[in-house]
Structure formats: C-alpha cells, structure tokens
Amino acid sequence: MDVPEVLLDADRIARRVRELGAEISADYSETGLVVIGVLKGSFIFLADLVREITAPVIVDFVSMSSYGSSTCSSGIVRVTKDPDVDVEGKHVLIVEDIVDTGWTLKMSCLAENLQAGGAASVRVCTLLDKPCRRKVDVHLDYVGFEAPNEFVVGYGLDFDGLYRNLPYIGVLNCEYQED
C-alpha cells in the first residue's frame, strides 16, 4: 500500500476547516477579502475553506513549484501563474496546502509583491505546517494542523501528481521518501 497510515481523517479535517472559516470570517466580516490559492495543492482545501467563510470573498490562484516529481524541495521556486485580480486596497489571504521549508512563500516574494500591488493587508493560511523542515522564516496567520516530518499526501497534496483525490491526509510509503 502506497499510503499505509492515515494522519488526518476526513472528519477531523472538516472540523478544523470549519474552525478556520469561522476565525477568518470574524477577522474579515467588515471588509471582505481576496483569497489567493497556491496551485495545485491548495485547491481542495481552498474550496472547502471559502465555503466556510461568511465574509465577501473573491477567489484567485497563483501557481508555484519547488518539488517537481521529488519528495524534497529543490529550493528553486518557479512562478508559473500570477494572480489576475487587482489587490489594491483589498485584504488578501494566501492559502497554502502545506508550508515546510518556507521556500515557496519566501522565494516567490508573493506576499511582498501583493503588498507592493497595494493590498491593504496580506495574511497566510495553511492547512499543514511542518516547522521541523523550515529553512527560512515565514509568518503563518492561520494554521490547520502541525505536520510530522513525513511526506504526506491526500486532500490536495500529491506525490508526482498522484493521491490528491484521497479524502484524508496520509503518510506516503517510506520507499518513496527521500531525505
């Protein structure tokens, strides 16, 4: 079996997404926000999250990569799609599936570019935080769960394009993992 261990089941994920949605709704009830999902991994989390946010929401996406078909970040971040929405004067929430090394957020300069584009504020929400793998300092405003030092898949997270469709988050079989 490629994913022998379930780390977070669908019910636990759904409960935490509802909690995050309520917290974000309270923070932006008066202003609304632009939610920018980092493709491809965030799309399932983002879809569930925005349905839990009661404040007005505009959704857009960026696409970046630092993994390719490996289980280790290359440290080189490629931006392949910038946001299309004008963020001037708007509150922005960047939504990530997982933050581990921090390279994707830091090296892409995403938050800084959004600020330079006139965003009223820029905050970050991630489903999974893996601080034990952090290489650069990044600030996370909303965190779903802390992840262990394992390569995880499911609920949008993948290995070489596979496993995104799993309704849970599981640990990938160790034969695929690299250090």
Catalytic residue check, 100 = yes
Question: Which residue in 27, 48, 97, 100 is the catalytic one?
Answer: 100
Strands 5-8 and 169-171: antiparallel
Residue in the structure block whose two tokens are 């991630």: 126
Q: Which CB contacts under 8 angstroms, 24+ apart, belong to 67-72?
A: 69/160, 69/161, 70/178, 71/151, 71/159, 71/172, 71/176, 71/177, 71/178, 72/178, 72/179
- The values of phi and psi at residue 166, to 5°, are -65, 135
User: In whole angstroms, what separates CA 20 from the centre of its chain?
Assistant: 13
Q: Which residues form the catalytic set?
A: 100
